[in-house]
Amino acid sequence: MVISYLLLGVVHAGAVIKIFKAGAFQAVGWFGEYGHGIPPWLAAAIICLVVLTYVFFGGMRGTAWANAFQTTVFMVLGMLTFVTIAHAVGGTGNLWQDMRIASQDVPVQQWTRSSIPKPVYFSYLLIPLSVGMFPHVFQHWLTARSVNTFRLPIVMHPIMIMIVWVPCVLLGVWASGPNSGIPAGTSENRVLALLVQTHAGPILGGLLTAGILAAIMSSLDSQFLCLGTIFTEDIVVHSRRHGHFSEKQIVLMARLFVVAMVLVTYVLSLFPRAVFDLGIWSFSGFTGLVPLVLAAIYWRRLTLAGAVASVVAAAGTWWILFWRAGWGLNKTYAFPESPIPLVGDWNVPPMLPVVTIVAVATVVLLSVSLVTRPPSEATLGRFFPEPRKPT
């Protein structure tokens, strides 16, 4: 699941750089098949090397500061991109009027769910639950020293998400309109980059491209760092031989593991996939961990066996459904693959795989926990302390 998430950034980075550097290397003959621009495979490799370099040398603190800077760059330049393209598509010079015109030109099926069955449409509501399960986000929450640390992030996070993603979503919708300059049938991986290239000049286009790449790298670096931490803390340090490893050896093993994961991701990025479909599959897997986290916080009867079984069930279900979908090539795959009749006119309709993943993970978690020995009172006392009595 993490690799599929990493693929989102690597694939998109290659596509963005290829579009903006098209025609820049006329003298390089072997770049001809890529429009005399930088090939996606080379662009993706460069991005991976850059991110690995500052993650390895900057560590947690350096990566956190890089994240803050990259996100700020993307937010500022993202809003500039939004305003620039809105003016170009609308043509009036008034932002609200331009947004209205750009929206009116969009085909009706892009604004409605007329082409999506209702069960599939509503099953998309489970996808956002994955955000709290992303390893790099989850790890950030665990660094808090007290519950008071969450006050500002909980308030500001939705606002920042809106600033980052609402313009991106609207730009994607506007791209389907006749005045966007984007040909029908264009790969979704190329839409944002083509919009910027079409409606911004070379200088502004370069700045906006930097903003897009900043957003991509701000996600990649956190995940690279998180992979290394998971490997060292949950595997190396907890192994029986961890006492034989020095700190320098552990750091080296973490770096080698991260490099290995990046190499696997890079190789997989050479096989074309749509970014949106990769995202749905990746986020579906992470959503399958939500029942476990909720149970760990609120259910005293949860057991270690139930937790492990739930993770295995979620991962196994994800793999089976991903295989049934042709390893993600079937963009409209839903499960069950045909309606399952129940009683009378009732049936189980096809829905996004995330519904099945969450259902299986939940049933397995409950079943295994109920048939295995419950946690001891001492264990429960550590995680479910008795509320203080008022004095």
Tens of pLDDT, residues 248-294: 888 888 888 888 888 888 888 887 666 667 778 888 989 999 999 99
Query: What domains, with CATH codes, occur in the chain?
Result: 2-272 (1.20.1730.10), 288-391 (no CATH)
Question: For residue 29, what pLDDT is reported?
Answer: 61
Residue-wise pLDDT tens digits, 335-350: 988 888 888 788 889 9
Q: What is the rounded average pLDDT of the residues 134-139?
A: 78
Assess whether pLDDT exceeds 60 at residue 223.
Answer: yes
Assess whether pLDDT exceeds 90 at residue 307.
Answer: yes
Q: Nearest 5 degrees, angle CA 240-CA 55-CA 269?
A: 90
Assess whether pLDDT exceeds 90 at residue 240.
Answer: no
- CA 95 centroid distance within chain: 30
| Token duo for residue 149 | 């640390």
Q: Nearest 5 degrees, angle CA 228-CA 233-CA 236?
A: 90
Question: For residue 370, what pLDDT is reported?
Answer: 94
Q: What is the rounded average pLDDT of the residues 1-14?
A: 76
Q: What string of DSSP letters covers 104-130?
A: HTS-HHHHSSTTS-HHHHHHGGGGGGG
Question: For residue 327, what pLDDT is reported?
Answer: 82
Integer Cα distance of 188 and 8 in angstroms: 12
Integer Cα distance of 383 and 300 in angstroms: 9
Q: What string of DSSP letters covers 335-367?
A: BSSS-EE-STT-EE--B-HHHHHHHHHHHHHHH
Q: How many CB atoms are closer than 10 A to CB 167?
A: 19
**Alpha carbon of 70 to those of 40, 63, 65, 204: distances in Å?**
22, 10, 9, 17
Integer Cα distance of 363 and 381 in angstroms: 26
**Residue 330 per-residue DSSP state:** -
Confidence category of residue 246, pLDDT binned at 50, 70, 90: confident
Q: How many CB atoms are closer than 10 A to CB 83?
A: 14
Q: What is the rounded average pLDDT of the residues 12-25?
A: 71
Confidence category of residue 318, pLDDT binned at 50, 70, 90: very high
Question: For residue 106, what pLDDT is reported?
Answer: 80
Confidence category of residue 243, pLDDT binned at 50, 70, 90: low
Assess whether pLDDT exceeds 90 at residue 192.
Answer: no
Assess whether pLDDT exceeds 80 at residue 244.
Answer: no
Q: What is the pTM of this model?
A: 0.79
Question: For residue 315, what pLDDT is reported?
Answer: 93
> What is the rounded radius of gyration, in angstroms, for the C-alpha atoms of the chain?
24
What φ, ψ does residue 343 adopt, rounded to 5°? -115, 130
Residue-wise pLDDT tens digits, 198-221: 887 777 777 777 777 877 777 788
Residue-wise pLDDT tens digits, 88-100: 888 888 888 988 8
Integer Cα distance of 358 and 376 in angstroms: 28
Assess whether pLDDT exceeds 60 at residue 355.
Answer: yes
